[in-house]
């Protein structure tokens, strides 16, 4: 049993994505609004982060799981374990909050590609802690959406004093149907601007209270103003502080928003998942964001960031699980080589020699690298959007649409597939993986939530098909397919060395197009077919994108391999192997999966309730 921190990062692959494949040093760094950031700064920042994330932040991972959160029902306060509190402070004390923060807010102003690449280190080392840093993101969102008076009151203090932050949507009776929320808001006269009193109960609020780890928490709350209509269009978003904030940014009295229950969970136990009660016995004061009733649209700034973060969390967990399993497989001796299985005198070999172990490891490796490629490819699109004036700028429309198309793949596919493949991580250990001596059993428990929150997997599939693809008649999707066709298939990217892999990609892409066409035909029969087949299409499209990116990575690696030295020789060999393995072991599964779509039938919907 190792007593070292669990976290094993893959910074080399992140650097490959950023500087050898995406080449952000040419496309993003040094250009407005990222003009103060260059490649040397990024590399130095990651080097600085590495010992912090593999050290103090990773050290809180196990203790956070084993030492329960303390909840004081009388005060509505949650107390973190000492290690988790130390992790929270280490993030700010070492300046990890400054990387992606815009320069006008005192940050380094790094582009999203760099920010997401760095965030993998944080969320991979301690995912429960990573979600307690949302205050940093909320400060940027409030700075974008709020009035000048609201910015002055909240943004500076949030950043200066390292306040926490939450997104407060879900209600006990509404769940994923956010528009069914019943929390109310009533406008009151106040010298402090557009002030409202909120009432209601919210559920599943991540880090709704973290005690004295942060001096204050800013909650962004969705509630329905008096007289507003039903559904999501009737919701508005409010800034609701745990402690009221005076004009000068100093803290006032306790606001009427309290944690009234702490959920007991199977995993991610160090993250306080709270029931929050608003306005029970004490007014819950909130400020209408921007003085406009545009709540759901505003909240999507937070939701889309959270969905990207959840997909990244899933990938980061799979990546460290794979690297831990690989280290074990290199040390654990058991049995003879399969070619000498009949020789009782044959030497015992490490389990890395066994074919099935190698198969499991390559399945984990190729998927972890492929998901990282998809996430950072999308992050680079976000660079482009910001450089072109933001998601509302006409010049950024195509990049924005492609980012929107990829988000449900990142959240839905990465969370589902990572959870599935973590079983292979555990299986690599044999029975030892089932013990708490190794981190993989906690990885599995902590990862299950990823398929559930920020929109379940099927919500992502419906979002992909009914909003992202249908929104523009499939133009963005076909644009992506056109890029794959022209840049990789028609251009023979990777030459003869990747000929078979390109053929597998072409077949998989054709199968997805055929499946989508079949689904459109099935819609004439019933919209239920979207619900029954949506997940298959989401998974298949994600695997086409991943397969494409891995082949492109392999093409870069083939060139780099010609002059590689030292550890890079093996690194590039591994990159090529990931692409080949994925192309021959994963992409061929898409065609038979898509064959289900034209055969889709409505038995599941026609069966009576009693028949179940």
- Is the pLDDT score of 48 beyond 70? yes
CB 460 within 8 A of CB 411: yes
- In degrees and rounded to multiples of 5, residue 372 shows phi and psi of -60, -40
- Is the pLDDT score of 611 beyond 70? yes
pLDDT tens digits, one per residue of 388-400? 999 889 999 999 9
CA nearest 94: which of 117, 116, 118, 111?
Answer: 118
CA dihedral 24, 30, 36, 42 (to 10 degrees): 30
Encoded tokens for 571: 């690194």
Strand-pairing partners, residue 150, are none
How far apart CA 363 and CA 346 sit, in angstroms, is 29
Query: C-alpha distances in angstroms, 39 versus 97, 104, 382, 479?
Result: 19, 21, 18, 31
- Is the pLDDT score of 2 beyond 60? no
Encoded tokens for 513: 């197009």
All residues at 6 or more sequence positions from 539 whose CB lies less than 8 Å from its CB, including other chains: 413, 416, 417, 593
Encoded tokens for 287: 């400020």
Element spanning 525, H or E: none
Encoded tokens for 243: 């402690």
| Predicted pLDDT of residue 189 | 84
- Is the pLDDT score of 172 beyond 60? yes
pLDDT tens digits, one per residue of 464-505? 999 999 989 999 999 999 999 999 999 999 999 999 999 999
- In degrees and rounded to multiples of 5, residue 195 shows phi and psi of -105, 140
Strand-pairing partners, residue 187, are 196
How far apart CA 56 and CA 93 sit, in angstroms, is 12
DSSP 586: T
For 262, the 3-state DSSP assignment is strand
Instruction: Report, in angstroms and rounded to the nearest whole number, the Rg of the chain calculated over CA atoms.
Output: 25
CB 416 within 8 A of CB 310: no
Task: Give the length of the chain.
Answer: 612
pLDDT tens digits, one per residue of 310-356? 999 999 999 999 999 999 999 999 999 999 988 989 999 999 999 99
Q: Annotated active-site positions, please?
A: 454
| Predicted pLDDT of residue 1 | 43
| Predicted pLDDT of residue 342 | 85
Q: What percent of the chain has pLDDT over 70?
A: 99
For 342, the 3-state DSSP assignment is coil
All residues at 6 or more sequence positions from 297 whose CB lies less than 8 Å from its CB, including other chains: none
- What is the residue whose two structure tokens read 């692409």? 579
Report the range of poorest mean pLDDT among 244-253, 374-383, 589-598: 244-253
Q: How many CA atoms lie within 13 A of 237 on its CB side?
A: 26
More confident position, 311 or 179? 311
CB 32 within 8 A of CB 388: no
Q: Can you list the positions of beta strands (E) in 22-91? A: 70-72, 77-79
Query: C-alpha distances in angstroms, 34 versus 43, 120, 306, 495, 502?
Result: 15, 20, 23, 35, 35
pLDDT band at 272 (very low <50, low <70, confident <90, very high): very high
pLDDT tens digits, one per residue of 61-116? 999 999 999 999 999 999 999 999 999 999 999 999 999 999 999 999 999 999 99
| Predicted pLDDT of residue 193 | 72
Query: C-alpha distances in angstroms, 466 versus 73, 175, 300, 485?
Result: 43, 20, 17, 25
Encoded tokens for 352: 């890395």
CB 328 within 8 A of CB 427: no
How far apart CA 197 and CA 278 sit, in angstroms, is 9
Q: What percent of the residues of the chain are helix, what percent strand, and what percent coil, each to the nearest 5? A: 60, 10, 30
- Is the pLDDT score of 3 beyond 60? no
Taking all residues of the chain, what is their mean pLDDT, rounded to a whole number?
A: 96
Strand-pairing partners, residue 198, are 185, 284
How far apart CA 327 and CA 321 sit, in angstroms, is 10
For 353, the 3-state DSSP assignment is helix
pLDDT tens digits, one per residue of 132-161? 999 999 999 999 999 999 999 999 999 999
- Is the pLDDT score of 565 beyond 70? yes
Element spanning 168, H or E: strand 164-168
């Amino acid at each position: 049993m190792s007593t070292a921190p669990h976290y094993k990062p893959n910074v080399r692959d992140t650097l490959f994505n950023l500087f050898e494949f995406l080449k952000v040093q040419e496309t993003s760094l040094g250009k407005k609004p990222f003009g103060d950031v260059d490649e040397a700064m990024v590399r130095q920042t990651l080097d600085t982060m590495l010992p912090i994330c593999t050290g103090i932040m990773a050290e809180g991972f196990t203790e956070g799981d084993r030492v329960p959160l303390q909840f004081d029902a009388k005060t509505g306060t949650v107390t973190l374990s000492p290690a988790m509190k130390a992790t929270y402070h280490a993030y700010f004390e070492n300046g990890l909050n400054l990387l992606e923060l815009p320069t006008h807010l005192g940050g380094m102003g790094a582009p999203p590609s760099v920010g997401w690449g760095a965030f993998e280190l944080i969320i991979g080392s301690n995912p429960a802690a990573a979600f307690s840093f949302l205050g940093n993101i909320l400060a940027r969102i409030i700075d974008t959406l709020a009035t000048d008076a609201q910015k002055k009151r909240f943004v500076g203090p949030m950043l200066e004093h390292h306040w926490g932050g939450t997104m407060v949507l879900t209600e006990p009776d509404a769940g994923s149907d956010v528009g069914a929320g019943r929390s109310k808001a009533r406008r009151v006269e106040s010298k402090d601007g557009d002030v409202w009193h909120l009432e209601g109960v919210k559920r599943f609020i991540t880090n709704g209270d973290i005690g004295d780890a942060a001096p204050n928490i800013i909650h962004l709350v969705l509630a329905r103003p008096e007289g507003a209509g039903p559904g999501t269009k009737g919701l508005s978003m409010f800034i609701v502080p745990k402690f009221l904030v005076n004009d000068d940014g100093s803290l006032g009295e306790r606001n009427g928003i309290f944690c009234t229950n702490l959920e007991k969970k199977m995993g991610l136990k160090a993250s306080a998942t709270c029931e929050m009660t608003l306005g029970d016995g004490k007014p819950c004061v909130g400020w209408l964001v921007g003085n406009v009733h545009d709540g759901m649209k505003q909240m999507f700034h937070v939701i889309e960031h959270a969905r990207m973060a959840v997909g990244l969390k899933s990938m980061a967990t799979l990546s460290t699980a794979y690297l831990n399993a690989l280290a074990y497989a290199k040390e654990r001796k058991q049995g003879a080589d399969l070619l000498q299985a009949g020789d009782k005198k044959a030497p015992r070999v490490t389990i890395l020699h066994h074919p099935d172990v190698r198969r499991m490891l390559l399945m984990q490796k190729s998927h972890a690298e492929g998901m990282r490629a998809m996430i950072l490819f999308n992050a680079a699109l976000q660079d482009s959007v910001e450089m072109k004036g933001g998601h509302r700028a006409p010049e950024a429309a195509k990049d924005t649409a492609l980012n929107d198309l990829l988000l449900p793949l990142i959240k839905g596919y990465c969370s589902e597939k990572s959870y599935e493949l973590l079983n292979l991580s555990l299986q690599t250990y044999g029975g030892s993986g089932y013990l708490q001596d190794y981190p993989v059993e906690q990885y599995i428990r902590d990862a299950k939530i990823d398929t559930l929150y920020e929109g379940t997997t099927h919500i992502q599939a419906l979002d992909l098909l009914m909003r992202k693809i249908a929104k523009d008649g499939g133009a963005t999707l076909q644009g992506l397919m056109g890029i794959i066709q022209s840049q990789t298939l028609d251009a023979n990217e990777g030459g003869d060395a990747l000929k078979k892999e390109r053929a597998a990609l072409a077949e998989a892409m054709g199968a997805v197009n055929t499946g989508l066409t079949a689904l459109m035909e099935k819609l004439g029969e019933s919209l239920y077919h979207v619900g029954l087949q949506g997940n298959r299409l989401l998974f298949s499209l994600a695997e086409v994108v991943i397969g494409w990116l891995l082949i492109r990575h392999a093409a870069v690696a083939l060139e780099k391999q010609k002059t590689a030295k030292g550890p890079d020789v093996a690194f590039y060999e591994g990159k090529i192997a990931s692409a080949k393995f994925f192309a021959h072991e994963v992409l061929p599964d898409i065609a038979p999966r898509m064959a289900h779509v034209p055969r889709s039938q409505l038995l599941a919907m026609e069966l009576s309730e009693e028949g179940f």
